[in-house]
Amino acid sequence: MPLITSVSRLASTSRRNILATTLLYTASLTVRSTSAVGRDAKSTALSIGKNDGAAFVTTSDGVQIFYKDWGPKSAQPIVFHHGWPLSADDWDAQMLFFLGKGFRVIAHDRRGHGRSGQVSDGHDMDHYAADVAALAQHLDLRNAIHVGHSTGGGEATRYVARHGRERVAKLVLIGAVPPLMLKTESNPGGLPLDAFDGLRRRLATNRSQFYFEFASGPFYGYNRPGAEPSQAVIWNWWRQAMTGSSKAHHDGIKAFSETDFSEDLKSIAVPTLVLHGGDDQIVPVADSAPLSARLLKHSTLKIYDLLPHGLCTTHPDLVNADLLRFVTA
Active-site residue numbers?
Answer: 150, 280, 309
In angstroms, rounded to a whole number, what is the distance separating the alpha carbons of residues 48 and 310?
Answer: 32
In angstroms, rounded to a whole number, what is the distance separating the alpha carbons of residues 256 and 314?
Answer: 23
As a whole number of angstroms, the longest Cα–Cα distance in the chain is: 52
- Cβ atoms of 146 and 327 closer than 8 Å: no
3-state secondary structure 171-210: EEEECCCCCCCECCCCCCCCECHHHHHHHHHHHHHHHHHH
Other beta carbons within 10 Å of 89: 18
Residues in the chain, total: 329
* Residue 300 half-sphere exposure toward CB, CA atoms < 13 A: 13
In angstroms, rounded to a whole number, what is the distance separating the alpha carbons of residues 111 and 213?
Answer: 24
What DSSP assignment string belongs to 27-91? -S----------S-------EEEEETTEEEEE-TTS-EEEEEEES-TTSPEEEEEPPTT--GGGG
In angstroms, rounded to a whole number, what is the distance separating the alpha carbons of residues 116 and 64?
Answer: 6
- Cβ atoms of 30 and 197 closer than 8 Å: yes
Closest CA to 102 of 79, 77, 82: 77
In angstroms, rounded to a whole number, what is the distance separating the alpha carbons of residues 70 and 52?
Answer: 17
